[in-house]
Amino acid sequence: MKLLRVGANGAEKPAILDENGEIRDLSYIVEDISGAHLSKESLTKLTELDLSTLPLIDEDTRIGACVGNVGKFVCIGLNYADHAEEANMPIPQEPIVFNKWTSAICGPNDDIVKPSSSTKMDWEVELGIVIGADAKNVSESDALDHVAGYCLINDVSERNFQLEISGGQWDKGKGCDTFGPTGPWLVTKDEVGDVLDLDMNLSVNGRTFQNGNTKTMIFKPAFLVAYLSKFMTLNAGDIISTGTPPGVGMGQSPEVFLNVGDKISLSIQALGSQTQTIVAEV
């Protein structure tokens, strides 16, 4: 299934794509696409619906983030060997963990706001894992039983905030408002196919910068869920962003960073696409 949330910012309602790619209203069935409705049992009930009986939603309706009421937005750094190389950083022996604040989450096609003091704003196409059942100290073999599905994320980053100001703090450079476009869809595991072999790409103003595949991930989704569950309870509705392949702006020679008016387009096979415009902070 492809689940999504549509409507004005802050007033999104749950929806589902039918077999013809049309958006159907789920608000009469579930309150939201959020933790309480992402259990295996809840998702199974949705598969039993006759989608043709659900109201259609206009295709031009705004698409919001595909998960509502996210509790934790956990991210993994340097999780592709070739990205670590372009960043001149050693391949990590254990996952590098940081956070995006949930206030960074926005719709997949919403504008991205460039902070007024930003000088090195960057992009990162990433695979997102959506937790469907609480996980604490789970084994790697059982980890995917706690996953509802996957989604596309742009891990927007401000490298000056992340690496330079006051000695650098990753959370500062990753969690600005609108720095987490998420969606368009939450795609359930059964429909994604092989999550370890998905093509992923990103372009800026029509120029392709990232062209990778999830198969080059260092730490795979099952390992990441198990690993993180040692340090925190992963709750249903939490999101894990799993790192990016090479081709970020910081890795170019010379470096390339985002400016107001730039347009970003990104996609991951089976998970859809996003398009954003960079706008100035008001």
Q: How many C-beta neighbours within 10 Å does residue 60 have?
A: 5
Query: What are the structural domains of the chain?
Result: 67-280 (3.90.850.10)
Longest dimension (CA), the chain: 57
pLDDT of residue 188: 98
pLDDT of residue 154: 98
In the structure encoding, which two tokens stand for residue 28, read together?
């009469």
- Which residues, at least 6 apart from 282, have a Cβ–Cβ distance to it below 8 Å? none
pLDDT tens for the 282 residues of the chain, in order: 999 999 999 999 999 999 999 999 999 999 999 999 999 999 999 999 999 999 999 999 999 999 999 999 999 999 998 787 777 778 889 999 999 999 999 999 999 999 999 999 999 999 999 999 999 999 999 999 999 999 999 999 999 999 998 777 899 999 999 999 999 999 999 999 999 999 999 999 999 999 999 999 999 999 999 999 999 999 999 999 999 999 999 999 999 999 999 999 999 999 999 999 999 999
Instruction: Identify which of 246, 247, 229 has the alpha carbon closest to the alpha carbon of residue 238.
Output: 229
Residue type at 237? G
In the structure encoding, which two tokens stand for residue 187, read together?
């795609």
- pTM score above 0.75: yes
End-to-end CA distance of the chain: 38
Strand partners, 68: 34
Cα–Cα distances (Å) from 29 to 26, 35, 150, 233, 260, in that order, read 5, 15, 22, 28, 41
The pLDDT tens digits for 93-119 are 999 999 999 999 999 999 999 999 999
